[in-house]
Structure 1
Amino acid sequence: MKLELVIVDDSPLWLSLAEKLASAHPLVGGVLTFEDSYDAWIHIQIAKPQVVMADIEMPGMNGFSFLEMYGNRLPFISSSTKLDFEVIARELGCVDFIAKPFSKQAFFKSIDLVYDRIYGKRSA
């Protein structure tokens, strides 16, 4: 089974980087991206994706808003340039937090963690 991932980030640069990394990960089957948090919110309600990666610092609905609504029902990866946000994001239910700028290794580790949370630990 492969993951269907939704990425929400108002920065085209970070959105593009995350999309490229996700597309290269062997456990990711599909990636859908949103720059607008409200468009993402509508999609999440309708499509109920497997995993969402959301930037915390966005205009309109920020990553904390997403976590407050879905954090206990949907696996989330939170990302931010502000490391102080990690504690709050985890308290709101994110599975993992990636500090920006993130590396390919950190991104892949986060995807692996979410995959294992959904499907159980993979054998090495």
Structure 2
Amino acid sequence: MKLDLVIVDDSSLWLSLAENLAKTHPFIGRITSFLDSYDAWVYIQVAKPKAVLTDIEMPGMNGFSFLEMFSNRMSFISSSTKQGFEGIARELGCADFIKKPYTKSELHGSIDLVRNQLEGKIPRLI
């Protein structure tokens, strides 16, 4: 199964890095990226993707807001420069948390985890 991944990050540098690293994963299909969290919010409601990688620290609607609204309907990988946000993100239902700066292998591991959860190989925590 190929995953379509939505990436939301207000930093063009991190967004580009995440796109480039995700493209190298063998089970990633289409990648849709957003710098603006409100544009992503609209897209997610309409497209109902299965997997989302979102930054926690964004202006307007932050990554916690996405988790509160959508984590019961789709799998989230949360990311932040602040490790202290991991506990909150996990309580809100993220499938995995990766601290910035993350490596290709860390992102690929998170994608593998989400894929395995979606395929029922390991249970979701929510």
Q: TM-score if structure 2 supplies the norm length?
A: 0.94
**How far off its partner does 1:121 sit?**
3.2
**How far off its partner does 1:72 sit?**
1.6
Q: Percent of aligned positions with the same letter in both sequences?
A: 66
- In the alignment, the residues of structure 1 paired with residue 50 and residue 105 of structure 2 have an alpha-carbon distance, to the nearest angstrom, of 21
- In the alignment, the residues of structure 2 paired with residue 96 and residue 31 of structure 1 have an alpha-carbon distance, to the nearest angstrom, of 18
Query: 1:101 aligns to what?
Result: 101
**How far off its partner does 1:63 sit?**
0.1
**How far off its partner does 1:28 sit?**
0.3
Query: 1:8 aligns to what?
Result: 8
Establish whether residue 53 from structure 1 lines up as the match of residue 42 from structure 2: no
Alignment of 1:83-102 (within 5 A): 83-102=83-102
- In the alignment, the residues of structure 1 paired with residue 33 and residue 86 of structure 2 have an alpha-carbon distance, to the nearest angstrom, of 22
Q: Which amino acid aligns with 1:78?
A: S
**How far off its partner does 1:50 sit?**
1.2
- In the alignment, the residues of structure 1 paired with residue 17 and residue 83 of structure 2 have an alpha-carbon distance, to the nearest angstrom, of 19
**How far off its partner does 1:73 sit?**
1.5
**How far off its partner does 1:120 sit?**
3.2
- In the TM superposition, structure 1's runs of 4+ consecutive aligned residues that sit over 2 Å from their partners are none
- In the alignment, the residues of structure 2 paired with residue 64 and residue 52 of structure 1 have an alpha-carbon distance, to the nearest angstrom, of 13
Q: Which amino acid aligns with 1:77?
A: I
> Across the two proteins, how many residue pairs are aligned to each other?
122
In structure 2, runs of 5+ residues without a counterpart are none
- Listed one character per residue, the Cα deviations across residues 13-32 of structure 1 (whole Å, up to 9, x for unaligned) are 00000000111100101100
Cα RMSD over matched residues? Answer: 1.0
Q: Which amino acid aligns with 2:76?
A: F
- In the alignment, the residues of structure 1 paired with residue 120 and residue 20 of structure 2 have an alpha-carbon distance, to the nearest angstrom, of 25
Q: TM-score if structure 1 supplies the norm length?
A: 0.96
Establish whether residue 116 from structure 1 lines up as the match of residue 116 from structure 2: yes
Q: Which amino acid aligns with 1:102?
A: Y
